[in-house]
């Protein structure tokens, strides 16, 4: 395995993470003390789901690399402590253009990682798909800690790493829609991943040794000479050995794959770092006997074609071998592959064709293959396989996504797709849309179309470029198959005329295209060539009788072909001896003729397969050399039997053993092609991955072309295996080299859309087009423009407009909708009408009712003379919405009524319901709640008749929401509550998260502000949290957790405070992850407050410290001042340690207020300090603060604060027994009050102050006259207040004063 990891192509970037990670997270350890209150989250973090699929035999390959020193693997268990089973995977985000780190994106990714540390379900799912188990997320280091449990997991993960899929998968995980909508940024961004190669190799080696059954190379210089090892296995340098653990510590049993010899092997003499694909293949594709040793190892020679020269004389031994003299020119038929004993050649002097021994040939004049191990035709034919049928499927899919029902279904005002996703800044989107200015006007498109058409139709054109439709729908040439209808009976068997047609057909000299069905993979000759026979037995009898007639009449070609067909039928029935006999008979008849090359290849391969199955080693070895030449060296040939797989895998085994990488790649290509044709997608995947890895390793550094890009095939296979992350990564990395190449960018865009929707956990539909597909839809748009496919181009414009609309990028959506309209005018009136109506609707969503109204007016005029009631209704409805936006309420209502009438004419209840709902919403917006309720009730009744489908019921939810608001406005609380909850029920039924979010928010407001119900309010806030989590809106989740913290706190019980603290900590984590400084600091403060209430003072102090550190880090003095005041308020309003508030107020907030010159805050603080010191009975300090507050009040000009200051001074002087000064302060306070009472609270204040003055005058100042006057004024205020008890108390005080007249208002009973 070390060889595999020796040349990892992922650059290791060493850079200072601390440059942009200086944020202080010291309080994180304190949060862990509350993990027991967060059981569910803790379980999520500790969940480690192993890849169970990897526990079986692995099904994915890796890449070639250099050999690591065997010293690394001599004692793997001893070094296990040095290499723990976990490895770290780090990543860095780079700009391709600048070749530097993109710090902004790196920071954004780190924020996402911080969120994933708390909820790692998505990361676990991703790495499970990548065949690794997540141990933990280490956001601070920009890395993940991974573990592996099986060889298969390590193999598959390394394969994905080598192919570049891991970085792409992380990109899909870490970035949001704003990134994906910025096409320029997507194109310029690359994620580099880095792993510890030595650790990964050690894990793999350790797992191999634990299994005790593996293949390895003999390590040169570490085995004893032959004469010193009598019982041991005789090893050759670089020999491949099958090693098994037999219980001995130092020596295991080894079997040489080269010689078949078995013996003991010292562990020090083997290197268990053979490529993982080779390990898997050699175990799963074993043969009963050793290799033939006819194939040699890798040389420096490439695969060549063209003309070569004989280096010496050669006389052919068999009739199928070519004889030649030294210096003769020989043309290579197909390929000359180094390491093979034979190739097929044609003598340039005699024109004869035969097998040529490679050792007698010089290839200096030959040309190397441009594609290294395959021809251009083979490349195109292979890449056509995965898109066969899928191309048209994806064109249909795109067309369906582009369609709208806007011409037939009315739109509910306010029920728009812009609410599905949060808005994205238009500047970022527009910056990334390179082709937004591609076609700016109708005139440009007309010129574009005219130019394209003239070029295509010009008779003088040298070449006619294929259109997109021609490229995608290429037809396969139909062979002119001849069919023979035969009905056998006993009399026919001796009638030569019955067999004359088939014998004449089969006896043609050489190969003709009609024979294709005889030699192909699927036994198509059973139906395409022969008819009228009831079953295969009857066909076999007919063919056997035909064979006898061919022998009798010496029809050589017919005889040979009939033998071949009979042999194929025998193989199908698993009658191998009979099949062998027929094939050998055919081979003898042909006697080396190459005039029907497909027949010769099919005979050699099927006979070799039969020998291999029957374990006939000598016969197989005798035939193998020439069979390999026919099998591997002839490009573009068709497979004739599924049994070829056994021969091909044998050749691959021999290529691996001898180390012939070129032959390995060539055979891997053939295996992939054969498995794909057989539809065996599970079996082909390891070979396809290995082929892609070999493609990169065989490529020279200065190569200007790629031999074969197998990523379309891999994307297709991953999609079939339901691996959406890897399928996306593979498809995204594939770019066709030309518009004629298949699969096209349309196919890629369709596959990306399909798998991106799987990642979102939903089916691909019109209302939800993933932003991840944006860049690839753009490329498909360019491709369709170059291919002159105007319908597809218009489709893509419409899809892009809908996608940007759904993601809130309305400016860009308008641009693409406008382009779609411009193209539609060239295609037809129906297309133009639909696109124009859609454009008008987008204008409405973009709050531009003017242009929308203009479009609707034009469309309504165009429909005057047409019988299009439904379309007219749709136009009137949108026109009503536009006029409402312009403030033309009456005209809007008139158009809604016209739309309602059109819907009634067609009997469309859904459109009637929408028109009525729009009328109701219009009335509600104008304050006509009663009229709104009538319209909305009628709409709801119509919707009730349509229940059962998604969109009508989602519209009903919106109608019920409006109806609830109308009822609440009319004080019908119970009915309003019922409508709110019914609306939520419909949204829950269809799992519409955004609709649930709007309704839940309304319910939370209802139960907190309108009809107070603490428990219901908490319940709906908890559902709000769930919705925010599902929508991955972290900031909203933090806000709701913060609100929940306050709601949980209300009961004040110990359990309630714990729940409140838990919610505060959750919000704190989220805000810290998002770097929301103010909210994070306030969450810290809330947590500290709760700890204070729970009497956990030590933890309280840490939270306070964390709050201040967060604010100070960003040097936000205003925030620090606010935090100091709020921290002081906690103690000020509390029952314990109230003196702590002085420190926060006087030593924290006041100096900052002075520094910031915030006099109002300073004034407020001094008033609080005065009140606090009064409560603490430190009256001298209270007087000082109250006097400072008074001076500041005068300076600021705040009369209310001045009143408060004088009142506090009066209270202070009262407690200081300076009663005269206190009296003056109280009187000054009353003088600052308005002369007329404004409210009951003001009357109560007057009553209390006059009572205080009366008590001071009587008991302290000994002035009973003034006391009586004050009490009378207090009594007047109490009378205004209407408080009988308070009046009685004041009358009692008056009665106690001597000399006060006892009038009617003073005596008892008053």
Q: Which region, left, alpha or beta, applies to residue 375 given φ > 0 means left and ψ of -120 to 50 means alpha?
A: beta
The span from the CA of 1057 to the CA of 477, in Å, is 78
725, 759 Cβ separation under 8 angstroms: yes
| Residues in CB range of 668: below 8 A, 6 or more apart | 652, 687, 690, 691, 694
Q: Which ranges of the chain have pLDDT less than 70? A: 1-84, 220-238, 298, 386-389, 416-494, 522-534, 699-706, 739-740, 762-767, 865, 1235-1238, 1299-1310
What was the pLDDT predicted at 1277? 83
The span from the CA of 493 to the CA of 505, in Å, is 19
The span from the CA of 4 to the CA of 2, in Å, is 5
**Residue 1008 DSSP code:** I
The span from the CA of 820 to the CA of 834, in Å, is 10
The predicted model scores a pTM of 0.78
Angle between helices 496-506 and 536-552 (to 10 degrees): 80
- How far from the centroid of its chain's Cα atoms is residue 1000's Cα? 28
| Residues in CB range of 1005: below 8 A, 6 or more apart | none
What was the pLDDT predicted at 705? 61
What was the pLDDT predicted at 292? 75
| DSSP strand pairing (213-218 vs 189-195) | unpaired
Residues in the chain: 1310
The span from the CA of 1032 to the CA of 923, in Å, is 36
The span from the CA of 1250 to the CA of 1223, in Å, is 10
Reference 1207, options 1195, 1223, 1219; nearest CA is 1223
172, 772 Cβ separation under 8 angstroms: yes
What are the C-alpha distances in Å from 1134 to residues 572, 1098, 1137?
A: 90, 17, 8
Strands (E), 139-269: 143-147, 189-195, 213-218, 240-244, 251-256, 262-266
Q: Give the model confidence (pLDDT) of 956-971 as tens digits.
A: 999 999 999 999 999 9
Angle between helices 889-906 and 909-925 (to 10 degrees): 160
**Residue 1006 DSSP code:** I
The span from the CA of 767 to the CA of 302, in Å, is 53
Could you count the other beta carbons within 10 Å of the beta carbon of residue 540?
16
346, 331 Cβ separation under 8 angstroms: yes
Helix (H, G, I), strand (E, B) or coil at 111: helix
Helix (H, G, I), strand (E, B) or coil at 1238: coil
Burial 545-558 (b: 16+ CB within 10 A, else e): bbbebbbeeebbbb
Q: Is the dihedral of CA 235, 241, 246, 249 positive or negative?
A: positive
What was the pLDDT predicted at 555? 93
Helix (H, G, I), strand (E, B) or coil at 1140: helix
- Angle at the Cα of 1102 from the Cα atoms of 1097 and 1103, rounded to 5 degrees: 95
Within the chain, what is the greatest distance between any pair of CA atoms?
Answer: 158
511, 597 Cβ separation under 8 angstroms: yes
The span from the CA of 646 to the CA of 964, in Å, is 72
């Amino acid at each position: 395995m070390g060889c595999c990891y020796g040349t990892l192509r992922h650059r290791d970037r060493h850079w200072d993470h601390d440059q942009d990670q200086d944020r202080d997270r010291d309080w994180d350890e304190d949060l862990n003390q509350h993990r027991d209150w967060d059981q569910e989250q803790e379980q999520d973090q500790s969940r480690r789901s192993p890849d169970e699929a990897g526990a079986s035999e692995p099904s994915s390959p890796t890449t070639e690399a250099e050999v690591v020193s065997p010293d690394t693997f001599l004692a793997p268990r001893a070094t296990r402590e040095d290499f723990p089973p976990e490895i770290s995977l780090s990543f860095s985000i780079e700009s391709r253009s600048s070749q530097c780190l993109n710090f902004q994106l790196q920071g954004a990714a780190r924020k996402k990682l911080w969120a994933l540390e708390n909820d790692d379900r998505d990361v676990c799912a991703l790495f499970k798909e990548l065949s690794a188990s997540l141990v933990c997320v280490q956001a601070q280091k920009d890395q993940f800690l991974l573990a592996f449990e099986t060889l298969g997991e390590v193999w598959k993960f390394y394969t994905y790493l080598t192919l570049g899929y891991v970085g792409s998968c992380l990109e899909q995980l870490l970035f949001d829609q704003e990134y994906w909508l910025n096409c320029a940024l997507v194109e310029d961004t690359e994620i580099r991943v880095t792993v510890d190669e030595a650790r990964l190799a050690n894990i793999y080696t350790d797992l191999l040794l634990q299994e005790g059954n593996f293949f390895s190379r003999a390590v040169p210089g570490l085995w004893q000479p032959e004469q010193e090892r009598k019982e041991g296995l005789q090893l050759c340098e670089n020999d491949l050995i099958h090693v098994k653990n037999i219980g001995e510590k130092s020596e295991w049993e080894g079997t040489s794959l080269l010689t078949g010899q078995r013996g003991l092997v010292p562990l020090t003499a083997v290197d268990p770092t053979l490529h993982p694909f080779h390990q898997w293949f050699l175990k799963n594709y074993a043969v009963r006997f050793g290799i033939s040793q006819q194939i040699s190892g890798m040389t420096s020679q490439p695969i060549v074609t063209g003309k070569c020269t004989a280096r010496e004389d050669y006389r052919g031994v068999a009739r199928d071998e070519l004889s030649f003299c030294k210096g003769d020119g020989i043309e290579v038929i197909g390929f000359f592959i180094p390491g093979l004993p034979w190739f097929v050649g044609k003598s340039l002097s005699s024109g004869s064709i035969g097998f040529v021994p490679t050792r007698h040939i010089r290839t200096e004049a030959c040309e190397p293959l441009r594609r290294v191990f395959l021809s251009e035709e083979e490349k195109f034919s292979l890449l056509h396989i995965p898109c066969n049928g899928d191309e048209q499927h994806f064109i249909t899919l795109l067309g369906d996504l582009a369609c709208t029902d806007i011409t037939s279904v009315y739109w509910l005002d306010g029920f728009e797709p812009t609410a599905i996703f949060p808005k994205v800044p238009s500047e970022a989107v527009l910056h990334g849309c390179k082709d937004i200015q591609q076609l700016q006007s109708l005139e440009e498109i007309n010129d574009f179309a005219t130019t394209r058409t003239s070029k295509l139709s010009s008779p003088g054109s040298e070449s006619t470029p294929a259109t997109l439709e021609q490229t995608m729908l290429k037809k396969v040439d139909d062979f002119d198959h001849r069919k023979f209808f035969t009905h056998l009976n006993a009399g026919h068997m001796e009638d030569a005329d019955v067999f004359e047609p088939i014998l004449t057909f089969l006896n043609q000299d050489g190969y003709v295209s009609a024979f294709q069905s005889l030699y192909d993979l699927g036994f198509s000759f059973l139906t395409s060539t022969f008819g009228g026979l009831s079953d295969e037995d009857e066909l076999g009898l007919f063919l056997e009788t035909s064979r006898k007639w061919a022998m009798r009449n010496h029809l050589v070609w017919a005889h040979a072909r009939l033998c071949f067909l009979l042999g194929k039928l025998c193989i199908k029935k698993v009658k191998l001896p009979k099949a062998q006999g027929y094939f050998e008979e055919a081979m003898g008849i042909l006697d080396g003729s190459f005039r029907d090359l497909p027949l010769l290849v099919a005979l050699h391969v099927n006979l070799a397969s039969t020998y291999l199955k029957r374990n006939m080693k000598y016969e197989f070895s005798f035939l193998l050399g020439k069979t390999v030449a026919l099998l591997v060296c002839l490009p573009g040939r068709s497979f004739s039997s599924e049994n070829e797989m056994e021969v091909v895998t044998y050749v691959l085994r021999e290529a691996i053993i001898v180390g012939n990488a070129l032959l390995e790649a060539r055979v891997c290509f053939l295996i992939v092609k054969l498995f794909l044709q057989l539809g065996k997608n599970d079996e082909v995947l390891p070979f396809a991955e290995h082929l892609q890895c070999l493609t990169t390793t065989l490529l020279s550094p200065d190569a200007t072309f790629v031999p074969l890009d197998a990523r379309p095939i891999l994307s297709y296979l991953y999609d079939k295996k339901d691996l959406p992350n890897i399928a996306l990564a593979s498809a995204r990395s594939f770019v066709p080299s030309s518009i004629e190449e298949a699969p096209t960018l349309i196919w890629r865009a369709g596959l990306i859309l399909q798998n991106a929707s799987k990642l979102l956990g939903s089916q691909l539909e019109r209302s939800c087009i993933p932003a991840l597909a944006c860049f690839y839809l753009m490329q498909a748009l360019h491709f369709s423009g170059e291919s002159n496919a105007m319908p597809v181009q218009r489709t893509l414009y419409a899809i892009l407009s809908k996608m940007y609309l759904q993601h809130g990028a309305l400016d860009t959506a308008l641009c693409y909708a406008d382009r779609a309209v411009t193209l539609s005018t060239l295609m037809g009136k129906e297309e133009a009408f639909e696109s124009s109506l859609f454009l008008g609707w987008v204008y409405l969503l973009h709050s531009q009712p003017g242009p929308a109204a203009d479009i609707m007016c034009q469309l309504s005029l165009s429909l005057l003379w047409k019988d299009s009631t439904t379309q007219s209704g749709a136009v009137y409805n949108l026109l009503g919405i536009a006029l409402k936006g312009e403030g033309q309420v009456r005209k809007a209502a008139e158009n809604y009524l016209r739309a309602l009438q059109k819907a009634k004419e067609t009997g469309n209840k859904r459109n009637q319901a929408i028109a009525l709902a729009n009328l109701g919403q219009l009335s509600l917006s104008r304050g006509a709640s009663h009229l709104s309720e009538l319209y909305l009730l009628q709409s709801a009744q119509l919707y009730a008749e349509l229940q059962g489908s998604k969109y009508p019921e989602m519209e009903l939810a919106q109608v019920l929401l409006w109806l609830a608001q109308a009822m609440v406005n009319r004080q019908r609380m119970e009915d309003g509550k019922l409508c709110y909850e019914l609306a939520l029920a419909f949204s829950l039924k269809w799992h519409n998260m955004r609709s649930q979010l709007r309704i839940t928010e309304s319910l939370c407001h209802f139960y907190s502000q309108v009809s107070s119900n603490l428990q219901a309010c908490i319940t709906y806030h908890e559902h709000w949290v769930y919705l925010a989590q599902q929508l991955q809106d972290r900031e909203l989740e933090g806000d709701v957790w913060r609100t929940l913290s306050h709601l949980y706190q209300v009961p004040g019980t110990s359990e309630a405070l714990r729940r409140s603290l838990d919610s505060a900590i959750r919000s704190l984590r989220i805000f810290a992850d998002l770097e929301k400084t103010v909210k994070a600091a306030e969450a810290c403060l809330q947590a500290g407050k709760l700890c204070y209430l729970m009497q956990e003072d030590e933890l309280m102090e840490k939270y306070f410290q964390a709050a201040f550190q967060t604010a100070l880090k960003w040097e936000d003095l205003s925030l620090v001042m606010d935090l100091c005041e709020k921290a002081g308020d906690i103690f000020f309003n509390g029952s314990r340690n109230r003196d702590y508030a002085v420190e926060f107020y006087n030593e924290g907030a006041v100096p900052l207020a002075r520094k910031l010159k915030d006099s109002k805050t300073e004034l407020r603080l001094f008033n609080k300090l005065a009140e606090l010191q009064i409560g603490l009975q430190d009256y001298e300090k209270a007087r000082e603060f109250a006097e400072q507050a008074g001076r500041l009040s005068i300076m600021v000009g705040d009369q209310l604060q001045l009143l408060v200051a004088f009142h506090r001074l009066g209270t202070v002087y009262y407690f200081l027994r300076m009663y005269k000064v206190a009296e003056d302060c109280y009187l000054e306070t009353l003088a600052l009050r308005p002369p007329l009472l404004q409210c009951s609270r003001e009357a109560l204040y007057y009553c209390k102050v006059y009572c205080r003055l009366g008590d001071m005058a009587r008991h302290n100042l000994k002035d009973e006259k003034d006391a009586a006057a004050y009490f009378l004024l207090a009594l007047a205020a109490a009378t205004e207040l209407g408080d009988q008890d308070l009046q009685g108390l004041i009358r009692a005080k008056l009665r106690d004063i001597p000399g006060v007249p006892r009038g009617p208002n003073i005596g008892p009973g008053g």
